[in-house]
Structure 1
Amino acid sequence: MTKETIAAEIAAGKAVLGIEFGSTRIKAVLIDSENEPVAGGAFDWENSLVDGIWTYSLEEIHNGISTAFAELKKDVQSKYGVKLTKLRSLGISAMMHGYLAFGKDGTLLVPFRTWRNTITGEASQKLSALFGYP
């Protein structure tokens, strides 16, 4: 696909944004209609041990996704001379062994748990009982 075709797709809102919350960085990648990466941005981060739990703060999550997306938008502008204003779709993934649990009102119920924690026994028992898992 040519640079001009990619620019036209981006301007028309046909590109797809993928965001991944990894354990060492947050990545934002824009792909074209041929599923090829055309732009990207990232934010490096490291979890912290807070009150015995390996976690990331909500502030760092917000800062990280904002920074990664801002870098991606700059990359689009630099490479293709167009401003990213709309998308065809968006996908978000997170580290396999981490989770964020929110209440109905949107508040975080427990600190962001990461792959480094080994304290899931009690939660596993309660969730297994709740969902009828043997």
Structure 2
Amino acid sequence: MRHFHFDHCHRTPRGEHEDGLSGGRGRGGRHGFGAGRVFGHGGLRFVLLQLIADKPSHGYELIKLIEERLGGSYAPSPGVVYPTLTLLEELGHLSVESGAEGGGRKRYTLTDSGREYLAANRETAESMMERLNGGVDGAGARGGRP
């Protein structure tokens, strides 16, 4: 019997590093299943924070951006992304605006606390973004696209 690990698990599964990098690549799939995971425990937090720091976004936009940067080989599920965004909001790293321009969707913006957290964890955040862009284990988009 195989046990699947998600970002909300408290244990670090075998093959993952404490910095959030997964030890293997694998396709991942919509629900994080597969031979390996793109992001290890907590790694998605840094990716979401950095993407939002670059451009305030809606959750769906973030999912699509990650999928695009990984060349379509992986898209994090809404069941992982939205709880992570909620956690980051509860930690004070994100603020949320609801607006008519986005069809009532929540738009996430980095707070001062979020900027400080990213700065304090710059090395991990950069590693996650490098992985997202294909710099680690070839996890990013094919053909060297940024």
One fold, TM greater than 0.5?
Answer: no
With CA pairs under 8 Å and 6+ residues apart, which has the higher RCO, 1 or 2? Answer: 1
Q: Find the structure with the greater CA-based Rg.
A: 1
More strand by share: 1
Length-normalised TM-score, structure 2: 0.27
Length-normalised TM-score, structure 1: 0.29
More helix by share: 2
